[in-house]
Structure 1
Amino acid sequence: ERILILDIGNRYAKIYITEGDELGAEWSFAKGKPDWIQRLGDIAERSNSSQAIIVSVVPNLTEMAVMTLEQSGVNSTVVSGDMDLPMKFDYGALGKLGADRIADAIGAWQFYGEDTDSLLVVDAGTAITIDLVRQGTFLGGAIIPGLDMMKNALYSNTAQLTLPDNKITAQFPGKGTEQCIVAGSISAAVGAIRFLWNKFIQKDEYARIILTGGDSKILAKFMKDEFILDNLLLVKGAIAIFDYCRMEKKNAEKI
């Protein structure tokens, strides 16, 4: 069975087609492109998928995507904290927990939790989320600005600081204002990960850092700790959620 996975983030919308355990084609669109919803419908029709799972942090686009897929004959499951999930969550307002954090956590534990006490799951996107999963339970974490958001905040709220060009690489110490801003944003992100590792992880635990997200490869260059880089973590979590929901539905039908 072919499953369409739609990841709607703050910057990009990504579409994946899976068949069994295999990941087939994938597409990525800048979220601001006006035709990406139409392209979603075209891809859904060509893929011969009957089911989709949506992981979205942009509610108004979620609704548009569900309607578009429905018009293409595809039934959608939208990931949220209000649904039954294959993981325990020790978290306050679960309904407000981001779908990306849910999918990341489930994907991380399903694929990397064996023989592990805890995982620190880091998604470096528009914002950087740093979450703790211990013994299969999501325990919450922290959210900090992403690398671009940090740089934009300095540029927008000061008179003389310039916005660094994306081609500028980090140098320590920075030898110019733009290099200093890049070095500062990376230091803040990597420092936050290290600080939260020390706060969250107990000394006698065997734990791992799982790194994902659009800026994960940038941060990976400066991570001295052992980590696993997996930019399909959200997709793996989405598939695990879909399989769990399908199994729960079958079990309910037997009763």
Structure 2
Amino acid sequence: MILVDIGNTTACIYESNKAHRINISDFNPKNISKKAYYICVNPNYSILPDNYINLEPYFKLNSDYLGLGVDRIAVCYCIENGIIVDAGSAITVDKMQNNKHCGGFILPGLNAYLNAYKNISSRLDYQLNTKIDLTLLPNSTKDAISYAVLKSIILSISEFAQNQTIYLTGGDACYLNQYFKNAINEKDLIFKGMLKLISSLKL
């Protein structure tokens, strides 16, 4: 079975219990000739070949949220209770309680934060220090930027989550995992949601 998650910057393909990401500019739907189940948030891929089956119309999530994206629905679909953090191009944070989606919020992704600094000044163009100790005050510009980016994300999520379990997923989840004591790294959570739906519908 082939599953495809088409995002704004990457496409992730799941086959034989393994997932691999490719840049969206390199993604060609015609390269997959077998039946493929997919979800998509990228408007440039609104029409796909006939062998692609769109799962979005089949998802049913108990939620009062207006405009909840199918990617967020999919990661929430298999979590009964907890906080779901999908760290991709944007960082989405959602709360599930007793199988109900209670709401959530959206932060810029790590690259978006760094690009914002770079747009202010070329002197602020740095890569993220993913090993920074957030208990120490930074003493370099690179660490000052890394501290501000990570601290703002970590504090926002921690305050929202309180003591609930945090389920981390998405391409940048590995960078955030080290800063939470109550986190579970679920790198393929979006595909677990898709597989749960497919199994329930017997597609």
Does the alignment reach a TM-score above 0.5?
A: yes
In the superposition, the TM-score normalised over structure 1's length comes to 0.71
The correspondence of residues 30-179 of structure 1 with structure 2, limited to 5 A, is 30-33=23-26, 36-37=27-28, 40-42=29-31, 44-45=32-33, 49-50=34-35, 52-63=36-47, 66-67=48-49, 70=50, 74-79=51-56, 83-91=57-65, 93=66, 96-107=67-78, 109=79, 113=80, 118-156=81-119, 158-159=120-121, 161-166=123-128, 169-171=131-133, 172-179=136-143
Q: Is the 8 A contact 1:164 1:179 kept in 2?
A: no
Runs of 4 or more, structure 1, over 4 Å off, are: 166-169
Query: Which residue, 4, 9, 12 being the options, matches 1:11?
Result: 9
Q: Is the 8 A contact 2:129 2:143 kept in 1?
A: no
Name the CA shift for 1:84/1:29 in 2 (closer, same or farther; >3 Å): closer
Name the CA shift for 1:246/1:26 in 2 (closer, same or farther; >3 Å): same
**Cα distance in 2 for residues equivalent to 1:242 and 1:77:** 11
Taking only the aligned residue pairs, the percentage that are identical comes to: 24
**Cα distance in 1 for residues equivalent to 2:182 and 2:121:** 40
User: Are residue 212 (structure 1) and residue 169 (structure 2) matched?
Assistant: yes
Name the CA shift for 1:101/1:120 in 2 (closer, same or farther; >3 Å): same
The structure with the largest alpha-carbon Rg is 1
Shift of 1:194: 0.8
Question: How many pairs are equivalent?
Answer: 201
CA RMSD of the aligned region, Å?
2.2
Structure 2: which 5+ runs fail to align? none
User: Are residue 222 (structure 1) and residue 179 (structure 2) matched?
Assistant: yes
User: Are residue 242 (structure 1) and residue 198 (structure 2) matched?
Assistant: yes
Query: Which residue, 139, 142, 146 being the options, matches 1:182?
Result: 146
In the superposition, the TM-score normalised over structure 2's length comes to 0.88
Q: Is the 8 A contact 2:129 2:142 kept in 1?
A: no
**Cα distance in 1 for residues equivalent to 2:130 and 2:101:** 37
Code of the aligned partner of 2:158: R
Shift of 1:61: 1.9
| Secondary structure, counterpart of 1:32 in structure 2 | helix
Shift of 1:141: 0.5
Q: Deviations over 1:8-66 (max 9, x none)?
A: 12221111125xxxx2x543211123xx21xx433x33xxx43x221222122242xx2
Q: Which protein has the bigger helix share?
A: 1
**Cα distance in 2 for residues equivalent to 1:145 and 1:75:** 30
| Secondary structure, counterpart of 2:124 in structure 1 | coil
Q: Is the 8 A contact 1:5 1:54 kept in 2?
A: yes
Q: Deviations over 1:90-123 (max 9, x none)?
A: 32x2xx321110110013x1xxx3xxxx311111
